[in-house]
């Protein structure tokens, strides 16, 4: 017998939801209109950016205009994290004026925060707003307000670009026909100039900020488990951060000060990684890990935790790399040892991983952006 519906439950009619969205949209517009009469001070535009959007600007010419300088500006002021609302409103007004003066066809927000700037700045203009999700939205799902805002502004964009399938699934694929998945390009020019060495060095490498979610402590534990089986190998970790002292203490406690090196930040680290026998990503969370992408593209055999996003879209397990469970030092240790002890297997991983150098090249990823922007 079917259960009777709870008489106290109440389902909000869809028309009320639509009214809420419409009123919210109209309110934001009225606020912008009112404040635009008061604030006239222009904002400084940053001219320099290494973004793929520069290439879009150059190739499209007058077909679709993308203000890469504006995007760079957004990245700059988002990092300031002002707590007062007035600076944010002033910037929205200034961006809106810029959108109109340049007669932009498309304004792209290169993060969640920049996306809502793009939406508000293009309201009731001919300029289309395109949002992007370039981080892991699942990291913030416990924060109801963050999740609500992400999905709220998603509905008001003209298009959305995701780096991964998992990120797209977070938004429910409600508007899949106008959205697209475009991964990161390999921007490091050094990667394109390097070839796999004839003989790899007896080193294991990892790179990244020394912070908790990167789990370098896990990697150090994994290396310690197999250190006696590979006595000639060393582990190099490139990067700096708040966890450095704790990692140094861990290394000293394990008696591996001569085998594990915290190498700090080095702009030429990628050249060193190119000679490694294994590259390891041990993170709990990632978006689209550029360090892993670069290592794979150089042909370095890679091991990565199967994070909620990113690695499993770059690596086909046991074909172009090895994926392990998040938080398992045992699996990391086994994977590193398997690659070191099986040269033929390592060679297969290297050859397949290197295919990403073409699929994730600047030219290929730029073309995907160009094709997408030309049809939205």
pLDDT in tens, 277-325: 999 999 998 888 999 999 999 999 999 999 888 899 999 999 999 999 9
Q: Which residues on adjacent β-strands are paired with residue 238?
A: 207, 264
Question: Residue 281 phi/psi, 5° resolution?
Answer: -115, 120
Q: How far is the C-alpha of 54 from the C-alpha of 66, rounded, in Å?
A: 8
What is the dotted CATH code of the domain comprising 191-359? 3.40.50.2000
Sheet with 302-305: list strands edge to edge: 260-264, 234-238, 203-207, 278-281, 302-305, 322-324
Confidence at residue 76, expressed as pLDDT on a 0 to 100 scale: 33
What is the dotted CATH code of the domain comprising 21-29+37-185+366-373? 3.40.50
The four Cα atoms 196, 197, 201, 204 give a dihedral, to 10 degrees, of -10
Whether the full predicted model's pTM is greater than 0.85, yes or no, is: no
Look at residue 268 and tell me whether its pLDDT is greater than 50. Answer: yes
Nearest to 340 by CA among 303, 306, 285, 315: 303
Confidence at residue 186, expressed as pLDDT on a 0 to 100 scale: 93
- Measured on CA atoms in the order 320, 322, 326, 332, is the torsion positive or negative? negative
Q: Start-end ranges of CATH 3.40.50.2000 in the chain?
A: 191-359
Please check whether residue 128 is in contact with residue 106, taking contact to mean a CB–CB distance below 8 angstroms.
Answer: yes
User: Could you give the residue ranges of the DSSP H alpha helices within 254-374?
Assistant: 269-273, 290-297, 311-314, 329-341, 343-353, 356-359, 362-373
Residue that wins the pLDDT comparison between 85 and 153: 153
pLDDT tens digits along 179-220: 999 998 998 999 999 999 999 999 999 999 999 999 999 999
């Amino acid at each position: 017998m079917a259960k009777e519906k709870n008489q106290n439950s109440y389902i909000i009619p869809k028309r009320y939801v639509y009214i809420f969205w419409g009123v919210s949209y109209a309110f934001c517009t009225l606020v912008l209109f009112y404040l635009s009469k008061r604030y006239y001070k222009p904002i400084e535009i940053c001219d320099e950016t290494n973004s793929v959007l520069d290439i879009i600007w150059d190739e499209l010419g007058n077909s679709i205009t993308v203000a890469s300088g504006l995007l760079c500006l957004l990245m700059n002021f988002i990092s300031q994290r002002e707590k007062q609302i007035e600076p944010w409103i002033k910037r929205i007004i200034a961006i809106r004026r810029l959108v109109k003066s340049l007669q932009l066809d498309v304004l792209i927000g290169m993060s969640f925060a920049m996306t809502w700037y793009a939406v508000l700045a293009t309201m009731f203009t001919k300029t289309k707003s395109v949002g992007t999700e370039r981080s892991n939205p699942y990291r913030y799902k416990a924060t109801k307000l963050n999740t609500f805002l992400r999905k709220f502004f998603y509905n008001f964009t003209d298009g959305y670009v995701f780096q991964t399938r998992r990120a797209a699934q977070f938004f429910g694929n409600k508007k899949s026909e106008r959205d697209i998945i475009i991964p990161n390009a390999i921007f490091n020019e050094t990667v394109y100039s390097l070839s796999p060495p004839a003989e790899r060095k007896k080193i294991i490498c990892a790179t990244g900020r020394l912070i908790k979610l990167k789990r370098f402590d896990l990697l150090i534990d994994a290396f310690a488990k197999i250190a006696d089986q590979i006595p000639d190998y060393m582990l190099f970790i490139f990067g700096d951060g708040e966890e450095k002292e704790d990692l140094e203490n861990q290394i000293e406690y394990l008696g591996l000060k001569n085998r594990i090196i915290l190498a700090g930040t080095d702009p030429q680290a990628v050249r060193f990684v190119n000679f490694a026998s294994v590259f390891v990503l041990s993170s709990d969370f990632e978006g689209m890990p550029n360090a892993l992408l670069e290592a794979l593209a150089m042909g370095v055999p890679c091991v990565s935790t199967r994070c909620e996003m990113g690695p499993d879209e770059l690596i086909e397990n046991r074909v172009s790399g090895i994926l392990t469970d998040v938080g398992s030092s045992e699996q990391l240790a086994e994977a590193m040892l398997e690659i070191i002890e099986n040269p033929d297997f390592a060679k297969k991983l290297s050859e397949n991983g290197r295919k990403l150098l073409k699929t994730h090249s600047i030219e290929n990823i730029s073309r995907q952006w160009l094709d997408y922007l030309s049809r939205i």
